[in-house]
Structure 1
Amino acid sequence: MKCGLNETSEGHYVDNILTDAYVWYEKDWQHDEYEHTHQRYQLTFVEEGYQYFHIEEKIYLVPQNHVIWIPSSKVHRTTSEAKTVNLMLLLFRTVPELDFYRKVHVFSAPAVLREMLLYASKWSKLLNEGEEKCVFIKAMLHSLPYFCEENSSLQIPAPADSRLIPVCNHINTNYQYKFQIDKLADMAKMSVRSLQRIFKQQTGISLQKYTQLIRILKSIELMDTNQYTLSQIAALVGYKSLSAFTFSYSSIMKTGPKLKK
């Protein structure tokens, strides 16, 4: 049994839960990294650590105090190098008839939503409905569109054009260095202008923006280790100064970088 669902074979689940909403809260989360799917809508809150969600052609970073909403039947898998991952999952059988619930969303959980989620943890793994649980969780579910201030920068696009894969792999591995656009073009076997145009068409962002995004995501991983100062992290991910790193980080995360206490 995983998250209250019975796994009949790798990645395939049978839903024997009788309640409309099910809560699963777990510290030091250990999840299989293979793709899986289920019929329930899923809200995941990362209380500590971070997780990557691989969904279709995108990878979504869900840092600490963020949530991700995943529609029913959406194939996904998770990965993380965080030392500790504390998660809460809420699985819903039915949701309101709004477009919001049919799409993937990642956003920072405001204080009121975090408190609601932590309060709901008292129903973790309970199969009974209960009037308070039913009313409380339904109110939270209906409030999600109003809490959502989505940060699309937490999405790592994966191009479908195979010529761009070596380029992405090179940036993912050498993000701390300033890349030479002509060498990236050689990897893709196309001109510089074609590379820039096709990469933007395929991913929705420029090569420079992609590199910035990878650097910030790597900095989040380094901050989670609690082994470096912010100045050291700035240098490790390729920034010449802490101020430059802080500005770049804030533009992506909408808040300044902070080390774990």
Structure 2
Amino acid sequence: MQNDMVKCGLVQQNDSLFIDSIEKEAYVWCEQNWKHDDHEHTHERAQLTYVEEGYQYFHIDRRIYLVPQHHVIWIPSGKAHRITTEATTVNLMVFLFSTVFEEPFYQQAHVFAVPPVLKEMLLYASKWNKLLTDNEEQDIFFKAILKSLPNFCNEGSHLEIPVPADIRLIPVCTYINSNFKYNLDMDLLAEKTQMSVRSLQRTFKKETGITLQKYLQLTRILKSIELLDTKRFTLSEVAYKVGYQSLSAFTTSYFAIMKSKPQARKH
């Protein structure tokens, strides 16, 4: 890619590094029909991304974070990340901060649903889209958004899939990702790792922090979000496609992960 390529106000020096020449403390970059590169990259500014439409996957530190519509992701300064999506349309607001507060919150990645107050603040901030000159109101307003993020963050949302470091478990994850429609065959999965069922369950939980059953549930719900985004299927069709035998079972599982009910895209 060209050295003078500008994305979100940052100059792309090479595939993995973005250089910041902007003197402003913070700014916002709104983009319709977002076109992304899927290679890992890093930049010194901390990043807050609000997904207004569509969804994105952020690959950070052996975890895959789903950021669906009306959610935000916080990415600390200097944190390498890669972005992928299959959404037909992705509309984003990207806020970039050169300095942050000292609380531990700002040193880790977070994904959470945007409450109404924060949504209104973010939408109001869009009036400063791509403004790179100083503006006192904007500076104060953006600092208020930044300061309030820890209070808006809902740690109960688990919109992330862990990737185990133990290479013996990779075939298990790959198999579940391809066969999420079916219930777990523990004997088959254990055979793939050459472990006993009990050893597999214990090792997987230790490596990822969740059980195999929870991993399957997460995979199903994240896949359902992709299907809902296409606007081609009813809720019942989506439920069946991701492995649930009834709409009520799907709705219950979806709510447990997303803290909201799935919305029908087609009737």
TM category (shorter chain) comes to over 0.9
Partner of 1:85: 90
Matched, 1:145 2:150: yes
Could you list the per-position Cα deviations for residues 92-122 of structure 1 after superposition, in whole angstroms to 9, with x for gaps in the alignment?
0011111111111110010111111111111
- Distance apart, 1:124 and its partner CA: 1.1
Question: Which residue identity lines up with residue 10 of structure 1 in the other structure?
Answer: D
TM superposition score normalised by structure 1: 0.98
Matched, 1:99 2:109: no
Percent identity between matched residues is: 62
Q: Distance in 1 between matches of 2:118 and 2:248?
A: 31
Higher mean C-alpha deviation, range 119-128 or range 146-155 = 146-155
Q: Distance in 2 between matches of 1:108 and 1:136?
A: 20
Q: Which 4+ runs in 1 deviate beyond 6 A?
A: none
Q: Distance in 2 between matches of 1:128 and 1:260?
A: 41
Map 1:1-261; keep pairs closer than 5 Å.
Answer: 1-260=6-265
Q: Distance in 2 between matches of 1:24 and 1:32?
A: 17
The size of the alignment, in residue pairs, is 261
Question: Which residue identity lines up with residue 232 of structure 2 in the other structure?
Answer: Q
Structure 1 vs Structure 2 CA RMSD: 0.9
Partner of 2:3: none
Question: Which residue identity lines up with residue 229 of structure 1 in the other structure?
Answer: T
Unaligned runs of 5+ in 2: 1-5
Contact 2:51 2:71 in 1 (8 A): yes
Contact 1:12 1:37 in 2 (8 A): yes
Question: Which residue identity lines up with residue 216 of structure 1 in the other structure?
Answer: I
- Distance apart, 1:151 and its partner CA: 3.7
- Distance apart, 1:185 and its partner CA: 0.3
User: Secondary structure, in 3 states, of the residue corresponding to 1:113?
Assistant: helix
Unaligned runs of 5+ in 1: none
- Distance apart, 1:2 and its partner CA: 0.7
Q: Distance in 1 between matches of 2:156 and 2:94?
A: 20
Question: Which residue identity lines up with residue 121 of structure 1 in the other structure?
Answer: S
Q: Distance in 2 between matches of 1:100 and 1:204?
A: 20
Q: Distance in 2 between matches of 1:27 and 1:121?
A: 12
- Distance apart, 1:9 and its partner CA: 1.0
User: Secondary structure, in 3 states, of the residue corresponding to 2:222?
Assistant: helix
Contact 1:41 1:91 in 2 (8 A): yes
Higher mean C-alpha deviation, range 120-129 or range 53-62 = 120-129
User: Secondary structure, in 3 states, of the residue corresponding to 1:60?
Assistant: strand
- Distance apart, 1:152 and its partner CA: 4.2
Contact 1:59 1:156 in 2 (8 A): yes
Question: Which residue identity lines up with residue 247 of structure 1 in the other structure?
Answer: T
